[in-house]
């Protein structure tokens, strides 16, 4: 190869490297069965499987990190090239992110101790009681915005112990998260008493993400729905939680 051709090859390689998009930083929290730390330090879960398949089809380079929710949320708001899952999409957050999804549905439930005999037919029936939630969570904020007495913990797992100890009267959480945490803690003395809302969970990305990339990822996600991938993954994780 001549010196001229070699130099041209080096310059082309350097140019391509300079224009190549850096890997996406994907953040999540411990929120089973959607996202959680699995065996061997591997991040797993239903939403994780969906996100990994989505980026595989897109040919997108990325890395996933598991962090406390509030830290992960704030980093995604502030840092370009960063996304967060599984994120509840609501009015307050709408303009903070660009949205890919929905990934999954997330019903919200109230748990009570098995010896709690209050008839709970609607959310208003618990207005005079103390409800456990955790800081930064959309479920807790939903209740706080409506004037309920919400006692916040740093993690939802702590609410299992608070409810067992009688420090709270009810616990508001995701249906599948609650079932997963009770199984993890080997607790059978708590029961779901009311489903009071159903939300959709998304991959939420920093607003600097190009609209063309958001559109392409949403189109790929729709193709995963059409070819049965999403149904297969949901059945893998959620059937046992029903």
pLDDT tens digits, 202-233:
999 999 999 999 999 999 999 999 999 999 99
pTM: 0.87
Confidence of residue 39 (pLDDT cuts 50, 70, 90): confident
Length of the chain: 242
Nearest to 46 by CA among 126, 125, 102, 119: 102
Phi-psi region of 22 (alpha: psi -120 to 50; beta: other; left: phi over 0): beta
CA distance 157 to 20: 41
Helix locations, the chain, DSSP H? 3-19, 46-58, 69-78, 138-145, 156-164, 175-185, 211-226, 229-238
Whether 134 shows a pLDDT value over 80: the answer reads yes
* Mean pLDDT of the residues in the chain: 92
Domains and their CATH numbers in the chain: 22-104+200-241 (3.40.190.10), 106-198 (3.40.190.10)
Query: ∠ CA 73-74-77 to the nearest 5 degrees?
Result: 90
Which pLDDT score is estimated for 241? 52
Q: Give the distance, in angstroms, between the CA of residue 29 and the centroid of all CA atoms in the same chain.
A: 7
């Amino acid at each position: 190869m001549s010196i001229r051709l070699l130099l041209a090859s080096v310059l082309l390689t350097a140019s391509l490297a300079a224009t190549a998009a850096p890997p996406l930083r994907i953040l999540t929290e411990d929120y089973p069965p959607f996202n959680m730390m699995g065996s061997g330090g591997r991040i797993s879960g239903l939403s994780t499987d969906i996100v990994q398949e989505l980026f595989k089809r897109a040919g997108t380079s990325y890395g996933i990190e598991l962090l406390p929710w509030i830290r992960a949320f704030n980093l995604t708001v502030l840092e370009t090239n960063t996304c967060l899952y599984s994120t509840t999409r609501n009015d307050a957050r709408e303009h903070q992110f660009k949205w890919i999804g929905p990934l999954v549905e997330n019903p919200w439930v109230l748990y009570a101790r098995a010896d709690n005999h209050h008839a709970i037919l609607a959310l208003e029936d618990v207005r005079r009681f103390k409800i456990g939630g955790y800081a930064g969570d959309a479920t807790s904020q939903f209740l706080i915005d409506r004037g309920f007495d919400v006692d916040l913990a740093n993690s939802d797992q702590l609410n299992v112990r608070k409810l067992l100890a009688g420090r709270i009267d009810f616990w508001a959480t995701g249906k599948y998260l609650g079932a997963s945490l009770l199984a993890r803690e080997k607790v059978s003395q708590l029961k779901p008493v009311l489903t009071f809302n159903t939300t959709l969970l998304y991959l939420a990305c920093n607003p600097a993400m190009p609209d063309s990339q958001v559109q392409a990822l949403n189109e790929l996600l729709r193709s995963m729905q059409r070819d049965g991938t999403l149904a297969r993954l949901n059945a893998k994780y959620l059937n046992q939680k029903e």
